Amino acid sequence: MKTVWISALTKNQPRVAAVSEHLKRYGLQAKGHFWTDEPDKLAWRTALDSMLEARADLWLILADNTEMAKISVRYGLSLLSTALHASRGPGFPIMILWDAPPSVVLPPILQAATAIEEAAPSWAAKIVAKANIAGKAPVPDYRFEVGGDERLGQWFEIGPRTGNWDGVVFGVTGADVEINFQAVGPQGGLPEKTVIEFAQQGLTLQVGEREFSAWAVRNNVDSTNSYYARVKGRPEAILFMPYADESESEATVLQLT
């Protein structure tokens, strides 16, 4: 039996029960939680751990316009989506079930998710199809993961999938956001110790009309190790790229809200 993990953005027990019962009639097992809107405490990590433990086949977000418009909710959902795809692959299916026609634009990271409305008579069948068919999605040439906890703080992990980068530049933008530590170490977990080569802090990068505060290192980073940055606050977007001496270089910018 396929398992659908439900994240209900509001504590609407009748709605959750009705959706779960409907999915059950289609042969799907429903598990899940009520969303905790505390991204500063990395509350979304609890949902990720539970979803992975349940070996869920699909993530279903029960959405409404009021909650989805909140910056903190959008940020937490973006990070959970990022971490989920890092763990289960970029093709892992995500669906958003709206209780009314959506009036807000989804965060960019969630825009590839399949959006459906409860008013549509075939919404459950679409979920069944997604849960039973392996998803496919382009694999980026970089690795991007988010980790940490309330005690360790929020850490972003960056690195190439193949080849190597001769150093890394990482930046953030947004109100009350700052990078306060960086490290380089083995992929998949914060290093116990690190040696930084030619560290730089307080860099300013301009991308269009947005200004990013950035740090950098000259350590070689390849597919077996990663660059780690601890970030305080909720960045609207992050920027990263291999280190370059040129004044103009190509960077990856990910919008998180």
Q: How does 12-27 read in b/e, with b if 16+ C-beta sit within 10 Å?
A: eeebbeebbeebeeee
Q: Is residue 114 pLDDT above 90, yes or no? A: yes
- Model's pTM, two decimal places? 0.94
- Fold that domain 2-132 belongs to in CATH: Rossmann fold (3.40.50)
One fold for both 2-132 and 142-255?
Answer: no
Task: Name the pLDDT band for 175 (thresholds 50, 70, 90).
Answer: very high
Q: Does domain 142-255 have CATH number 2.60.40?
A: yes
Of the chain, the percentage scoring pLDDT greater than 90 comes to 91
Q: Is residue 244 pLDDT above 90, yes or no? A: no
Per-residue pLDDT reduced to its tens digit, 145-158: 999 888 999 999 99
Burial grade of 55 (CB within 10 A; 0-12, 13-18, 19 or more): exposed
pLDDT of residue 161: 95
pLDDT of residue 247: 67
Q: Where are the domains of the chain?
A: 2-132, 142-255
Which has more pLDDT, 241 or 133? 241
